[in-house]
Amino acid sequence: MGFSSHTLGGSALQTLKIAAFPSYSPFKPSLRLLSSPQTLIPYLHSYRQRIRYGLRFPFVARALSVSVSASEAQSREAEKVLKPQWRAAIDFKWIRDNRDAVVTNIMNRKSSADLEVVIELYERMCSLQKEVERLRGERNVVANKMKGKLEPSERLQLIDEGKRLKDALVNLEEDLVQLTDKLQQEAQCIPNMTHPDVPIGGEDCSALRRMVGTPPEFGFAIKDHLQLGKELDLLDFDAAAEVSGSKFYYLKNEAVLLEMALTNWAISEVMRKGFTPLTTPEIVRSSVVEKCGFQPRGTNTQVYSIEGSDQCLIGTAEIPVGGIHMDSILPDSVLPLKYVAYSHCFRTEAGAAGSATRGLYRVHQFSKVEMFILCRPEDSDSYLEELIQIEEDLFSSLGLHFKTLDMASEDLGAPAYRKFDIEAWMPGLGRYGEISSASNCLDYQSRRLGIRYRPSAEPSPNLKKGKANLGPTQFVHTLNATACAVPRMIVCLLENFQQEDGSIIIPEVLRPFMGGLECIRLDLKQAEN
């Protein structure tokens, strides 16, 4: 493929620091499905069968019990910056040979990556590698000569020559390690290549793919979700601000049931499409964040890191799900692997301000249901279409008015080869707001996470008995999409289904997950009080 994600590196994000202190795990709602759970058992059975056939699931838990002084933490952080703990399988030769295309892509994405530095470092590395290989060859020649019968003077001369070559080789190998690490740091800033059909420019240049429904008409003065939530006693931002700070919130009463209902409904619907359900760790190693394409050392980060450790809070379940098969070679027979994951998400929302982000629309902590697919390279385009269709079906069944957009180049995250956003009409806010996105990342993430598969090979007539006919491994393609971002979905439901008497109609598909509740009414609350 001309536009291959294997060439490229991470986004320019940097982790902010939060102090590490004892805390308890946040309460997670039961994922017991409230309608026809027996219909979902076959999917779980299929998942267990996959485990039986040899998939690796390297879940790792680690407790940090040693206190770290500020100076030690800074020293360790500096060491991490100078010497990466992992290396991406980036195709530097492809970058050099396609310099013009990569430069154009960097410009189209408004990336800060410096391609000239990357190519210069790569050429220096290649030159140094040749010199290392030359010295190794000379050392081997000396070692072979030492095996024969030699005059004492000749042996001493060879010993001196061997020592000289060894010392020179040690110095060159150290230089090579440092140069390789620097090359990795620079190259990981280069974004993925871009699908040729992606519009070039900023968010305003994004192309409309589909418009679903029409905006609801109201014969009364509408309210936004903040006012509705306050009148119906569903939201409390003031108390949360005192407890946690701005952009935090309490859900109360029926809003809690609504979050549980949205979560269970989204998971059950996606499972019926053949996805395996997961709950994920919500703290991950910084290196896993980087391998998924989000560098925690950039300036406009969305990532919280835990000071004094190598761990971060996740901003999306895409990160821990991407890591579940890290450093694995998957059998061809198990692909595609489809997951639907529930997690809490944490984002700094650096730079986010203004009335357009008020209320639940942009917050620091929220619940989300995320879809994730690992597949063969030739199948990723079709699975992107499948993810978009699932999203559109979910939001259509809720009765929302929304549009699907093919996002422009400057709005693509570093890992995305192509991305489609869904924006729903939010009448109280008076605008469309993003509620979901779906991205095809090709092998950008798998080259960093080390996730390969071994394609099935045709039987060979010349193959010796007992020998496996194994082809070379390839990197899988990864895709991700949002099934339900709970706070923004609550914004949509409260604002779109408000009634003149202040009540909120519950969409029919959610009612079985809310114990049959059809409406959130103000008069019932007043009667209770």
State the alpha helices, DSSP H only, in 188-253: 225-231, 237-243
Beta-carbon contacts of residue 274 (< 8 Å; ≥ 6 apart)? 43, 338
Q: Which helix (H) or strand (E) holds 177?
A: helix 152-187
CA distance 486 to 361: 10
Is 434 annotated in a binding site? The answer is yes
Long-range contacts, 169-173 (Cβ 8 Å, 24+) = 169/132, 169/135, 169/136, 169/139, 172/128, 172/131, 172/132, 172/135, 173/132
Is 348 annotated in a binding site? The answer is yes
8-state DSSP, 316? S
Is 473 annotated in a binding site? The answer is no
Is 151 annotated in a binding site? The answer is no
- The order of strands in the sheet holding 16-18 is 16-18, 304-306, 311-313, 283-285
CA distance 412 to 117: 23
Lookup result for tokens 């056939």: 53
Is 276 annotated in a binding site? The answer is no
Is 344 annotated in a binding site? The answer is no
Active-site residue, 434 included? yes
Is 74 annotated in a binding site? The answer is no
For CA atoms 415, 417, 422, 423, the dihedral sign is positive
CA distance 379 to 440: 11
CA distance 197 to 409: 10
Please state, in angstroms and as integers, the Cα–Cα distance from residue 400 to each residue in 116, 154, 218, 489, 503, following that order. Answer: 47, 87, 15, 10, 18
Is 243 annotated in a binding site? The answer is no
- Could you say which of 109, 297, 418, 488 is catalytic? 488
CA distance 459 to 465: 12
Is 57 annotated in a binding site? The answer is no
Cis peptide before 336 (omega within 30 of 0): yes
- Could you say which of 4, 111, 268, 437 is catalytic? 437
- Could you say which of 124, 307, 434, 511 is catalytic? 434
Radius of gyration of the chain (CA): 27
Active-site residue, 362 included? yes
Is 275 annotated in a binding site? The answer is no
Is 307 annotated in a binding site? The answer is no
- Could you say which of 285, 362, 447, 448 is catalytic? 362
Active-site residue, 437 included? yes
Is 477 annotated in a binding site? The answer is no
**Is the separation of the CB atoms in 212 and 396 below 8 Å?**
yes
Give me the phi and psi of 299, to 5 degrees please.
Answer: -90, -35
Is 367 annotated in a binding site? The answer is no
Is 364 annotated in a binding site? The answer is yes
CA distance 330 to 255: 41
- Could you say which of 109, 297, 347, 452 is catalytic? 347
Q: How far apart are the first and last CA of the chain?
A: 65
Pick from 134, 102, 126, 133: which is nearest to 179 by CA? 126
**CA torsion angle 134 137 142 144 (round to 10):** -170
Pick from 92, 14, 97: which is nearest to 312 by CA? 14
The torsion region of residue 466 among left (phi > 0), alpha (psi -120 to 50) and beta comes to: left
Residue ranges for the known binding site for ATP are: 347-349, 363-366, 434-437
Active site residues: 347, 362, 434, 437, 488
Residue ranges for the known binding site are: 316, 347-349, 363-366, 370, 434-437, 480
Residue ranges for the known binding site for L-serine are: 316, 347, 370, 480
